[in-house]
Amino acid sequence: MPGRKIIITGVPGVGKTTVINESILRLKEEGVDFQSISFGSFMFEMAVSKGLVKDRDDMRKLSRDEQKHLQQLAAAAIGKINGDVIIDTHASVKTPKGYLAGLPEWVLRELKPDVFVIVETDEDQILLRRLSDMTRVRDVDGFRALSEHQEFNRAIAAAYAMVTGCTVKIIKNPDHLLDKAVSDMVNLLR
């Protein structure tokens, strides 16, 4: 049975995975079950099996064609998953050659999203979160670069809405207000 497909995006380090995990726990307490799927993990498993990368943070430095091929494989596999699903991914990926659309037309066709969420917060908070996360090799962008990336993500989300008819919801995840971000997400999903 096809269920609801909710796509959740945000620049790296904004905290979308944190918001998703907390929201799923809270929804479970209410008897609402959502499966969380990391698009990046599907791509990473495929990239490792092809010997392309050893670290997930190296994927955005692969050639455009390699990234597009991995996207296609991940989208085809995720599109087959039934039930209510949250897909944790990126509206756009910052590559050395410019922004790569995270959900080009052939990916949207597989995923068929109902709602497209952008998680945002202030740029200085994103930078500090990136710097304090020792588990990842995140880009060290300044205020302007982060601001440009967040703006680009809003613009490309509008294009995704045009293609699919999905709605676009912006959820703020500021420091010390994770609980509010989770409540907003839970209200959207229940």
Q: Does 40 bind ligand AP5 (CB under 6 A)?
A: yes
Q: CA torsion sign, 13 to 15 to 16 to 20?
A: positive
183 binds ligand AP5 (CB under 6 A): no
**Stretches 27-35, 147-155, 160-168, 172-180: which one binds ligand AP5 (CB under 6 A)?**
172-180
The contacts of residue 131 (CB under 8 Å, 6+ apart) are 140
Give the interface segment with ligand AP5, choosing from 26-34, 38-46, 144-152, 156-164 (CB under 6 A).
38-46
Check binding of 113 to ligand AP5 (CB under 6 A): no
The nearest distance, CB 71 to ligand AP5, in angstroms, is 5
Q: Within the chain, where are the H helices?
A: 16-29, 39-49, 64-79, 105-111, 123-132, 143-164, 178-189
What is the smallest separation between the CB atom of 145 and ligand AP5, expressed in angstroms? 15
Q: How many C-beta neighbours within 10 Å does residue 81 have?
A: 14
Report in angstroms how near the CB of residue 175 gets to ligand AP5 at its nearest.
Answer: 4
Rounded to a whole number of angstroms, the minimum distance from the CB of residue 131 to ligand AP5 is 10
Sole binder of ligand AP5 in the list 23, 24, 37, 39 (CB under 6 A): 39
HSE of 36, CA atoms in CB hemisphere, 13 A: 18
Contact 8, 16 (CB under 8 A): yes
- Quick one: which of 157, 140, 119 has its CA closest to 21? 119
Tell me which of 30, 33, 105, 133 binds ligand AP5, using CB under 6 A: 133
Shortest distance in whole angstroms from residue 135 CB to ligand AP5 = 8
List own/partner pairs for 45-49 with CB under 8 A and 24 or more apart: 46/70, 46/73, 46/74
CA 28, CA 86: separation in Å to the nearest integer?
Answer: 14
In the bound state with ligand AP5, the residue whose beta carbon lies nearer, of 27 and 149, is 149
Q: Which of 18, 72, 147, 183 binds ligand AP5 (CB under 6 A)?
A: 18
Distance, CA of 47 to chain centre = 18
Chain residues in the site for ligand AP5 (CB under 6 A): 10, 12-18, 38-40, 43, 56, 59-60, 67, 71, 88-90, 93, 102-103, 129, 133, 173, 175, 177-178
